[in-house]
Amino acid sequence: MSERVKYLLDEESIPKHWYNIEADLKINTPPPLDVSTGKPCEVAKLERIFAKGVVEQELSRERYIPIPEPVREIMRQWRPSPLFRARRLEKRLDTPARIYFKYEGVSPSGSHKTNSAVAQAFENKRAGIEKVATETGAGQWGSALAQACQIFGLESRIYMVKCSYEQKPYRKAIMELFGGTVIPSPSTMTKAGLAVLQKDPYCRGSLGIAISEAIEDVLKYDKTRYCLGSVLNHVLLHQTVIGQEAMKQMDMAGDYPDIVIGACGGGSNFAGIAFPFLGEKLRGGKDVDILGVEPAACPSLTAGKYAYDFGDTAGLTPAMKMYTLGSSFIPAAVHAGGLRYHGMAPQISNIMAQGLMRARTVQQLDVFKSAVEFARAEGIIPAPESAHAIAATIDEALECKKNGVSKAILFNLSGHGHVDMAAYMEYFCGNLSNYDYPKEEIAMALSCLPVCRENGNAE
Ligand SMILES: *Cc1c(COP(=O)(O)O)cnc(C)c1O
C-alpha cells in the first residue's frame, strides 16, 4: 500500500470562525497606548486609521469571531489549503521524525497574506472606504492587498521598501497588474520619507519607514484607511484559518504535532498555524512545543526588549507592547524582506514573555541551503521567509535522528518563492552572506523608545 502524502479537506471545512487566542490567555495582551496621554488608544483614533470592522476585531476578547460569508466565499478559491507529509525530505534526512507542512503558496498572491487581505478589503468596503494605503516588504502583502482591492473595487497605494523594490521587480509588476500604485520607500512624497532621506539619501528603507509613509498618506485624505499585513491582533486572527484546518488534517493523518514551527516577521503566519494548537493546550488539551524562527539580522524575539514601542519609524502609530529592536532600527537587506521588521506582534510577544513558546534565529546562508534541500526533495520552491521555518524543521528532524526519537513536526510553508528567483541565483553565485546581529545599532535604536510612564517603560 502506498503511503499518504497529501491531506485535503472539502470546501465545507473552511473554518466558519476565526480563533481569538485572547479568550484563552490568563494574562491578556496589553492594549495599544496613545503616547500623548499614556492611556489606551481611544477607539475613535483607531477608527481614523483603520476601518471600523477591523478595529472591532482588533479589540475583541471573544474566542470565536464569525468569518463573513462573502470572505469565506472568496477564500474557496484556494482554501482549504493542502497539508503534506514531507516523506521524501524525511528520507533525505534519514530521520525518524514525521514532517508535515501546511502549504499557503496556493493562494493567488502565493502566500498566506491573501487570507487577511480579503478580510481587510471586505471591512473597508463595508465601512464605505474608497482607498487604502499600506506598506510592503518583499511585496507579498502588497500584491495580496492589491488583488483583494480589485475584488471589492477599492484603490490601493503601496509603499514598498526600497531594497525589495530593487531586489524584486516582478513583485512591483504584479501589484501594478492588480491596479495598485507602488511607491518605493523612503519616498519624497511624505514628510516621514523626506526626513529619512535628509539623514541618509541612500537609505534602502525598512518596514517601519514604509508604515509611517502609508499612515501619513491615510491621514491626508478622507475615506482612506490604512491596512497592515501583520503584527496586529486582527491580522493574526485572520490567519487562524491555517491552524484550524491543519488540526483537522493532522487528525486525518492520525497524528498530532509535537512541535509547530513558523517563520516570524511580524508574526501573522506563525500565529496562524500555532494559535489554534496553543489554544487547545491552554484549554487543557495536548502539550505542544511552539517554535518561532527569525533572521539573525533582525532578531526581535530573541534579542529585542519587551517594551512599549511605535510600530513605525516616525512614531505615527500607537505604542504597542512588544519585543522590539527599536523603531529606528534598519535591518540589513536580507532577501527575506518580509521578516525585516523591528518589532513582533504584541500577542506573540505576550505568549513569549509568558514562556508559552520559544524562538531562535537562523542565518541567511543556512536559510537558502535548507530551501534548496527542501525544494529538491519536495518539488516546491519556498519563499526565503518560509525557508526560515524549513531550516529550523531540518534541525529539529536531525536532532530526532541524533537522539533516536520520532517526533511529529508541523511547519507552515507560508509562501512559494517563484518571484524570489533572483535571490536564489545570487545564492548559487556565492553572492549572499550572513549578517550578525548588529549589537551597537540595536542598542542605539533601543535608547530612543517612547516613554510611557504608566506602563513601565520608564525604568
Ligand atoms: C510576509 C511574509 C512572512 C512574514 O510575515 P508574518 O506576518 O510574520 O507571517 C512570511 N512568509 C511569507 C511568505 C510572507 O510573505
Integer Cα distance of 348 and 334 in angstroms? 23
pTM (global) more than 0.95: yes
| Atom number, ligand 1, closest to the C-alpha of residue 111 | 13
Integer Cα distance of 26 and 284 in angstroms? 13
Going from the Cα of 386 to the center of ligand 1, the distance in angstroms, rounded, reads: 7
Contact criterion met (CB below 8 Å) for 178 and 282: no
Q: Is residue 399 part of a domain?
A: yes
Going from the Cα of 414 to the center of ligand 1, the distance in angstroms, rounded, reads: 7
Task: Locate 424 and state its grid cell.
Answer: 536564489
pLDDT single digits (tens) 249-265: 999 999 999 999 999 99
Integer Cα distance of 85 and 88 in angstroms? 9
End-to-end CA distance of the chain: 64
Q: Which domain holds residue 326?
A: 5-14+67-110+234-455
pLDDT of residue 456 exceeding 60: no
Distance, CA of 358 to chain centre: 17
The count of structural domains within the chain is 1
pLDDT of residue 416 exceeding 70: yes
Residue bearing the bigger pLDDT, 439 or 378:
378
Going from the Cα of 113 to the center of ligand 1, the distance in angstroms, rounded, reads: 7
Residue whose CA is at the smallest distance from ligand 1 atom 14: 338
Integer Cα distance of 50 and 32 in angstroms? 14
Cell 536580507, residue located: 334
Hey, is 202 helix, strand or coil? Answer: coil
Q: Are strands 305-310 and 319-324 parallel, antiparallel or unpaired?
A: antiparallel
Q: Is residue 99 part of a domain?
A: yes
Q: Is residue 153 part of a domain?
A: no
Helical spans, DSSP H, in 153-206: 162-167, 169-177, 191-199
pLDDT single digits (tens) 26-66: 999 999 999 999 999 999 999 999 999 999 999 999 999 99
Contact criterion met (CB below 8 Å) for 112 and 412: yes
Residue whose CA is at the smallest distance from ligand 1 atom 10: 385
Q: Is 120 in the pocket of ligand 1 (CB under 6 A)?
A: no
Q: Is residue 261 part of a domain?
A: yes
Which strand (E) or helix (H) includes residue 310? strand 305-310
Q: Is residue 49 part of a domain?
A: no
Contact criterion met (CB below 8 Å) for 373 and 395: no
Residue 455: predicted pLDDT: 52
pLDDT single digits (tens) 95-108: 999 999 999 999 99
Q: Is 339 in the pocket of ligand 1 (CB under 6 A)?
A: yes
pLDDT single digits (tens) 177-233: 999 999 999 999 999 999 999 999 999 999 999 999 999 999 999 999 999 999 999
Which of 102, 103, 113 to probe ligand 1 with, by most ligand atoms within 8 A of CB?
A: 113
Residue 337: predicted pLDDT: 80
Q: Is 109 in the pocket of ligand 1 (CB under 6 A)?
A: no
Residue bearing the bigger pLDDT, 375 or 328:
375
Q: Is residue 197 part of a domain?
A: no
Residue whose CA is at the smallest distance from ligand 1 atom 13: 415
Percent of the chain with pLDDT over 70: 98
Q: Is residue 96 part of a domain?
A: yes
Percent of the chain with pLDDT over 90: 92
Rg (alpha carbons) of the chain, rounded to whole number: 20
Position 45, amino acid: K
Q: 360 has which bridge partners?
A: 293
Q: Is 154 in the pocket of ligand 1 (CB under 6 A)?
A: no
Contact criterion met (CB below 8 Å) for 393 and 386: no
Which pLDDT band, with edges at 50, 70 and 90, does 453 fall under? low
Mean pLDDT estimate for the chain: 95
Cell 473554518, residue located: 15
Residue whose CA is at the smallest distance from ligand 1 atom 15: 140
Going from the Cα of 338 to the center of ligand 1, the distance in angstroms, rounded, reads: 5
| Atom number, ligand 1, closest to the C-alpha of residue 386 | 11
Residue 457: predicted pLDDT: 61
Position 399, amino acid: E
| Atom number, ligand 1, closest to the C-alpha of residue 235 | 7
Output the CA torsion sign for 382, 386, 391, 395: negative
Integer Cα distance of 152 and 132 in angstroms? 12
Residue whose CA is at the smallest distance from ligand 1 atom 7: 268
User: What is the average per-residue pLDDT within 73-85?
Assistant: 98
CATH of the domain at 431: 3.40.50.1100
Q: Is residue 167 part of a domain?
A: no
Which pLDDT band, with edges at 50, 70 and 90, does 459 fall under? very low
Residue 458: predicted pLDDT: 52
Contact criterion met (CB below 8 Å) for 19 and 276: yes
